[in-house]
Structure 1
Amino acid sequence: MIEITLLGTGSPMVDANRAGPSTLVRAGDALFLVDCGRGVLQRAAAVGVGAANLTAVLLTHLHSDHITDLNDVITTRWVTTFVRSPLPIIGPPGTRAVVDGLLTALAPDISYRIAHHADITEPPALEVYEYTEGPVWDQDGVTIRVAPTDHRPVEPTIAFRVEYDGASVVLAGDSVPCDTLDQLSSGADALVHTVIRKDLVTLVPQQRLKDILDYHSSVEQAGATAARAGVGTLVLTHYVPPLAPGQEDQWRALAAGEFGGRIELGDDLLTVQVG
């Protein structure tokens, strides 16, 4: 069995009820944090998970809303826990430069804490890995592989497929439909997919907001991707505009028009088990 918890179902639009994009995947004893939107550790704490518990951080891409709290994850694990093993951070090319930039920005804080605490003698221990496709993890019965997605002009971007004990989950990140995502998702127990309501976004007057239409999947497109891949469950997240109370049936119906399987959507901390 694999357990999926939507820690943050929001977007760059600040929402008092939804944290930024982030998903927790539990596979056996391993805990993978997929993307690090705003408020991620607060949401993780609500399900009893802290920075010290994380096996690895997986980044689908480097858009600001998906990495906003990466610095918080790094610093909190380093300062408030006694874990000294390096934290693996796996993402697309460019991830190492982002992490190096964060450590540069945190340099004053790092120096203060090393000077103040006798047992802290080194900066945060991190291991950064960059991939665009292929296997990226094989430990304790958990395997992970990635494939490129299409979120241009943001590139490269990747999706992750986590497999454990016969169960499989794909985390698509932001993407329009593409063959590589279909192939990675083929036969998966669950597909976690970001979605927008194109019918609502087209009503806004600002072109900057309408620009998101050309590099995100609509609810219908996410449903069609799930159908082509033959997945068991479609989990919707990263709602744009925010999913309002009472609209759940509308969003579900749009996906169900393309996909006949189980559809899950809801608030932050929604947990779905598959396998």
Structure 2
Amino acid sequence: MAIEVTLLGTGSPIPDPNRAGPATLVRTGGQTLLVDCGRGVLQRAAALGVGANALDALLLTHLHSDHITDLGDVIITRWVTTFDARPAPLPIIGPPGTADVVRATLQAFGFDIGYRIAHHDDLNEPPPLEVQEFTDGPVWERGAVRITAAPTDHRPVEPTLGFRVECEGTAVVLAGDTVPCASLDRLSSGADALVHTVIRDDLVQRMPLQRFKDICDYHSSVQQAAATATRAGVGTLILTHYVPAITPGEEDQWRQLAAEEFDGRVELGDDLHRVRIG
């Protein structure tokens, strides 16, 4: 069974007119899974013909703002565009702290929710959600799709998760933000593909502000992500969350940096770049 990976948003915390915030869509086994929900995620999903009401689950790698900016939009839009009499709750799976963030988001949208319930006869309850927090181990098993989580290292952001999505012999790992770590190596071992956020530390270190340079402390460089892919024995490395954003025409530079540590297939590109695995 193939797994289709679409990079909905490949940007960073810095607003970019050409790149939405971090978000990846995974489709396999008849299921549609959203990993993280950075700014603009639903607009990008709409370009694929995927609405919020088509999501089977939302997976959060961590609670940094750029990865959850549009959480409220996903929750509310799914609620108002689902027309079943008894809509199934949206599963939201993330690290400890996720329930607090979801609760605060619902509170922030409390007036909106109240207005809609008062206005529409067929909306009687707030958005139905099913929040689950994990640090390690199985998090999802429906039909042929199985998802396992493992901790990653993005300290001082803690805890953070990577996810391994498997369907009938094909496996894709989504690393989120992290430096190389043994738990990610184990999660990725033998997978067909690794989706990894990356920075160009050689470019970031040239920036004049220490606040920018600090991001090198807890993100993987292109070469480090490639080395993780090599240790895990994956066949395809998919790069995303580019810092700084890739300048048009410089894609081969990024590929060459990855090739220093990894001799497999390297995929990168603009938002909506799609990769079929398996």
Same fold (TM over 0.5): yes
1:8 CA displacement:
0.2
1:138 aligns with 2:102: no
What amino acid is the match of 1:53?
Answer: A
1:81 CA displacement:
2.6
TM-score, structure 1 normalization: 0.99
Q: Which residue does the alignment assign to 1:271?
A: 274
Q: Which residue does the alignment assign to 2:207?
A: 204
Query: Matched residues in 2 for 1:161 and 1:117: separation?
Result: 40
Query: Matched residues in 1 for 2:229 and 2:147: separation?
Result: 19
TM-score, structure 2 normalization: 0.98
1:165 CA displacement:
1.4
Query: Matched residues in 2 for 1:213 and 1:242: separation?
Result: 15
Identity percentage of aligned residues: 72
CA RMSD of superposed structures (Å): 0.5
Q: Which residue does the alignment assign to 1:155?
A: 158
Could you give the per-residue CA deviations for residues 176-205 of structure 1, whole angstroms, max 9, x where no partner exists?
000000000001000000000000000000
Query: Matched residues in 2 for 1:185 and 1:4: separation?
Result: 16
1:101 aligns with 2:104: yes
Q: Which residue does the alignment assign to 1:183?
A: 186
What amino acid is the match of 1:145?
Answer: T
The equivalences for 1:234-273 within 5 A come to 234-273=237-276
Could you give the per-residue CA deviations for residues 195-233 of structure 1, whole angstroms, max 9, x where no partner exists?
000000000000000010000000000000000000010
1:167 CA displacement:
0.5
Q: What secondary structure is seen at the aligned counterpart in 1 of 2:115?
A: helix
Q: Which residue does the alignment assign to 1:52?
A: 53
Q: What secondary structure is seen at the aligned counterpart in 2 of 1:209?
A: helix
Query: Matched residues in 1 for 2:200 and 2:5: separation?
Result: 23
Unaligned runs of 5+ in 1: none
Query: Matched residues in 2 for 1:52 and 1:82: separation?
Result: 9
Q: Which moved more, 1:80-89 or 1:153-162?
A: 80-89
Q: What secondary structure is seen at the aligned counterpart in 2 of 1:137?
A: strand
Query: Matched residues in 2 for 1:51 and 1:212: separation?
Result: 31
Unaligned runs of 5+ in 2: none
Query: Matched residues in 1 for 2:250 and 2:39: separation?
Result: 24
| One of 211, 227, 232 as aligned partner of 1:229 | 232
Query: Matched residues in 2 for 1:236 and 1:82: separation?
Result: 37
Q: Which residue does the alignment assign to 1:164?
A: 167
Could you give the per-residue CA deviations for residues 17-59 of structure 1, whole angstroms, max 9, x where no partner exists?
0000000000111000000000000000101100011000000
1:80 CA displacement:
2.4
Could you give the per-residue CA deviations for residues 142-185 of structure 1, whole angstroms, max 9, x where no partner exists?
00000000000000000000000111000000000000000000
Q: Give the number of aligned pairs.
A: 275
What amino acid is the match of 1:98?
Answer: V
